Structure 1
Amino acid sequence: MTFQITVQPSSHHYECEQDDTVLAAAIRHGIGLPYGCKNGACGSCKGKVVEGTIRHMPHQPRALSDQEKLQGYALFCCAVPQSDLVIEAREVGGSTEYPIRKMPTRVTGIRRAAPDVVVLTLQLPANEALAYRAGQYLEFLLRDGKRRAYSISNAPSYSGPLELHIRHLPGGVFTDHVFSTMKERDILRFEGPLGTFFLREDSDKPIVMLASGTGFAPVKALVEHMIHLGSERPTVLYWGGRRPQDLYMHELCEQWARELPWFSYVPVISDALPEDAWTGRTGYVHAAVMQDIPDLSQHQVYACGAPVMVDSARRDYVGQCGLPADEFYADAFTTEADAAQP
C-alpha cells in the first residue's frame, strides 16, 4: 500500500510505501526535509503531523518527548505512515541539489591526528566525482547491513581525496577496524551525500561555529568553503575538547585566525590535567559562547558534535540569548549508544 504525503507550507507532495518512513521517502523523492542522524537520536527531523496517523518507531525520548507526541509532533526518520498524511515541516532549500549515490572508494591514507582520532583519506574511482555541499556526510555500507556516518571534512572545491575524521569508540565494529586492521588500498562502499547541515549562503549574518571533538570535521569544510567563496562574513569558531589533544587541528585554526580578517578562534578545554599546562579558556564550550556573545539575536549558529552539547546550545541560545530558532543549524554526532532505544 502507498500513502500520499503533503508537506506544508510548501504544498509539496510525494508517495510513501506503508513500511517506509516519512523521511526516507522524502529523500528518495527529492523533498528537502531537514535531518541529521536518521536514527531517532538527534531531533533534527522533528515536525508536526497535521492530518493522518503514523506509527512511531523506537527513538530517544530526549529527541521527542511524550508531551510532544501528544501535541502532534513526530521524528520523521522514525515515523511510518498508517494513512495519507499532511505534515508541517520547514524544508531546506538546496539539500537535494546533488544526487545521492552509492560508490566504491579506496583508502589512501590513515593518519593518526590524536590518540583517538584518525584522518582517513579516500580516493574515488577514476573519472568519478562526488558532488556535495560543505558540511554534508556520507554513510559507509558495512557487510552486516549496518551503516556508519561520517562528515566530509574538506570543501567540495578541493580536488584531492575525500577526508574524514574518525574518533575511536572502543568496541565499535567499524572504528575498531579503522584503528587496528584497516590498511591503505582497502576498498569501502558508501552512500552520499547526506544531511542538511551546510552554509546558508543567502544570509550575511555573523556566524558562530560551535564544535566538540570530531564535530570539527564539517566545520572545517564550512570554513574552507567560505574561503573558496571569498566570504567576509564575521565568523568565530568555538572548538571544545576535554583535553588539548582533542583539538587535533588546533594549529590550522590558529593559522586561519592569523590569515583571515573575518575569522576568529576560541579553543575551550573542559578537563585539562596539570601536565597539559593549559592556559586558555576552560569549561563547557557552548557556555563560552554565551559569556562572549550574550545577545545572539542577529547571528546564525552552526553546531556540530556530541548530542548533549548540541541540545544544550539549542536550548540556551534560543531560550536565553535570543537566537531565532530557525537560525540554529546542527549536526549531532550520534553513536550506536546514542541510537534509538525502545
Structure 2
Amino acid sequence: MSVSATRFSVRTEPAGHQFDVAPDQTILEAASAQRIGLPYGCRQGTCGSCTAQLLAGEVQYPNGKTAALDGQPADACLTCQAVPTTDLVLRVAELERLSDIEVRTLPCRLAEKTRLNHDVMRLRLKLPEGQRLAFVAGQYLEFMLRDGARRAYSIANPPHDDELLELHVRRVPRGRFSDEVFEQMQERCILRIRGPLGTFVLREDAERPILMVGGGTGFAPLKAMLEHAFHRGIERPIHLYWGVRSQRDLYLPELPAAWAEAHPNFRCVPVLSEPDRDWTGRSGWVHEAVLEDHPALTDFDCYLSGPPAMVEAGRSAFEAAGLAIEHLFSDAFEYAADSRRAD
C-alpha cells in the first residue's frame, strides 16, 4: 500500500477514499490538502472532533498525546495531531459536502457592532462588493491579526442569510483581541478573515431527533444550525439546552422564544449554574438538565458547543446514557487569553 519509503497511504472506511501523507504532515493536513472531507474542529487536539478509529496501521503524536484521548478506546486516532508511521486504514464519517467549499482569505469591513449583554458583542462583517463566503451552518472563521496571530469565531448566521457575516464575541479576561473589540474597534474598520473552517455542521440526512447543548457563546453556531434547519423545513424534534451562569449571561433571549412560537418541533430550555434569586427556571449543570429530561439517549443526534469542560462533561455523560459516538458532534471553544480559539 505504501507509495514510497517516506510517504504513507491512508484509506478511509466506509467511503473508500485513499490519500497520501507526507513525512511532515498530520493526517488531517494531508486530507484537507487533497480535499478529503475529514471532520475536525479546533485542530489543536483539544476538542476531539477529528477522532477516527484506527482499523489498521500505526501513528505517532510528535507533540505528545492530548487530553482528548483520555478515556477513548485504544484504537482512537486524533487525525489533527497524528502522523502515520505505516500505511493506515481509518473508520471515519466523512463530510462530502464540505470538501468542495473553498477556504478563502478575504478583507472585510465591520458593518455593525452591537453590545448584546455585559460581555458579548455582536459583529456583522461586510465582504467586498460582489463577494460571498460559501459556508455550511456551524462552521467558523479566523481573524488574521497583524502580528500573525489568529482568533476564531463561529459564524452565527445561516448560509441563506449571508449578506453580512454575524459573530458573537465574548470578552475574556486579558483577551487582547476581545479587549480591542469592546474598547477600540470602530465600525467601518477593515479586518482580514480566513474561512470557512470546521466540520461542526448539521447532519441533515439523519432522521433522529436532535439535542443541541450550548454553553455561553456556544449558542452562536447552534443559532446558525437552527435557522438553517427552520429554513430547510426540517421537522424532526429539536431541543436546545443553553447553559450560562446567571440571567444576565443570556443574550438574544427573544430569538429562542420566537422560534418556539413559530416551530412546534422546537423547544428551548435555559439552564443557570449560578441562578439569580428570582429565577424560576432550570438550574445546575446544563448536561445534567438534558439527562433529567432524556435519561436514555440511544435514539438522538447530539450537538455540543461551548467551553471544553462543558463539552467533555457532556460527552462522557451522554455516552454513558447510550448516545453512540457517531451521533455525537462537538465544538469546544478555548477561552484562554492566548488561545487560538476564543469564541
**TM-score relative to the length of structure 2:** 0.91
Cα displacement string for residues 65-91 of structure 1 (whole angstroms, at most 9, x for unaligned residues): 3x869x354322122345554444332
Q: CA RMSD in A?
A: 2.1
Are the counterparts in 1 of residues 172 and 178 from structure 2 also a CA contact under 8 Å? Answer: yes
Change beyond 3 A, Cα 1:143–1:86: farther
Paired residue secondary structure (1:268):
strand
- 1:4 corresponds in structure 2 to 8
Contact 1:54–1:83 (CA under 8 A) maintained in structure 2: no
Secondary structure at 1:63 match in 2: helix
> 2:53, 2:77 within 8 Å by CA — same for their partners in 1?
yes
**Residue 60 of structure 2 aligns with which residue?**
54
Contact kept? 2:153, 2:168, Cα under 8 Å:
yes
Structure 2 counterpart SS, 1:94: helix
Distance 1:111 1:98, change over 3 A: same
Matches of residues 57-206 of structure 1 in structure 2 within 5 Å?
57-58=63-64, 60=66, 62-65=67-70, 71-82=74-85, 84-206=87-209
Determine helix, strand or coil for the equivalent of 2:288: helix
Look up the match of 2:289.
288
Q: 1:207 matched to which residue of 2?
A: 210
Q: 1:243 aligns with which of 242, 246, 264?
A: 246
Pair 1:36 & 2:46 matched: no
Offset at residue 2 of structure 1 (A): 5.8
- In the TM superposition, residue 339 of structure 1 has moved relative to its aligned partner by 5.9
Does the Cα contact within 8 Å between 2:57 and 2:86 map onto a contact in 1? no
Compute the displacement of 1:305 (Å): 0.7
1:42/1:334 contact within 8 Å kept: no
Conserved? CA contact 2:12–2:18, under 8 Å = no
Unpaired stretches in structure 1, ≥5 consecutive residues: none
| Maintained 8 Å contact 2:140/2:198 | yes
Q: Judging changes above 3 Å, is the alpha-carbon distance between structure 1 residues 261 and 13 closer, same or farther for their aligned structure 2 residues?
A: same
How many equivalent residue pairs? Answer: 334
Q: Distance in 1 between matches of 2:209 and 2:58?
A: 40
Q: Spell out, residue by residue over 1:69-115, the C-alpha distance to the aligned partner (whole angstroms, 9 max, x if none).
A: 9x354322122345554444332332223111111111111111111
Q: Specify the code of the residue in structure 1 equivalent to 2:165.
A: L
User: What amino acid is the match of 1:316?
Assistant: A
- What secondary structure is seen at the aligned counterpart in 1 of 2:268? strand
Unpaired segments ≥5 residues, structure 2: none
Letter in 2 for 1:330: S
Deviation at residue 11 of structure 1 after TM alignment: 3.1
Match of 1:331 in 2: 331
Query: Who is 2:276 aligned against?
Result: 273
* 1:231 maps to 2:234: yes
| Offset of residue 172 of structure 1 | 1.8
3-state DSSP class of the match of 1:303? strand
Deviation at 1:336, TM superposition (A): 3.9
How far apart are the structure 2 equivalents of 1:143 and 1:207?
Answer: 40
Contact 1:23 1:77 (8 Å CA) reproduced = yes
Q: 1:301 to 1:187 in 2, by over 3 A?
A: same
CA 1:165/1:291 → structure 2, altered by over 3 Å: closer, same or farther? same
Q: What's the secondary structure of 1:78's corresponding residue?
A: coil
Whichever residue aligns with residue 14 of structure 1, its letter is: F
Instruction: State the distance in 1 between where 2:174 and 2:259 align.
Output: 36
- 1:140-192: CA deviation from partner (whole Å, max 9, x where unpaired): 11222222111100100004310000111121221121111111111111111
Q: Per-residue CA shift, 1:312-335, capped at 9, x if unaligned?
A: 111111212x22221111111123
Contact 1:44 1:330 in 2 (8 A): yes
Cα distance in 2, alignment partners of residues 148 and 59 from structure 1: 24
| Sequence identity percentage | 45
Instruction: Tell me the SS of whatever aligns to 1:56.
Output: coil
Deviation at 1:223, TM superposition (A): 1.0
Structure 2 CA distance, aligned partners of 1:286 and 1:195? 23
Deviation, 1:291, is: 0.4
C-alpha deviation, 1:124, in angstroms: 0.6
Pairwise CA distance, 1:48: 4.2
Residues 237/73 of structure 1: CA separation in 2 closer, same or farther (3 Å cut): closer
> Partners of 1:280 and 1:54 in 2: how far apart?
48
* TM, length-normalised to structure 1: 0.91
- Name the aligned partner's letter for residue 262 of structure 1: N
Task: Specify whether residues 338 and 47 from structure 1 end up closer, same or farther in structure 2 by C-alpha distance, changes over 3 A only.
Answer: farther
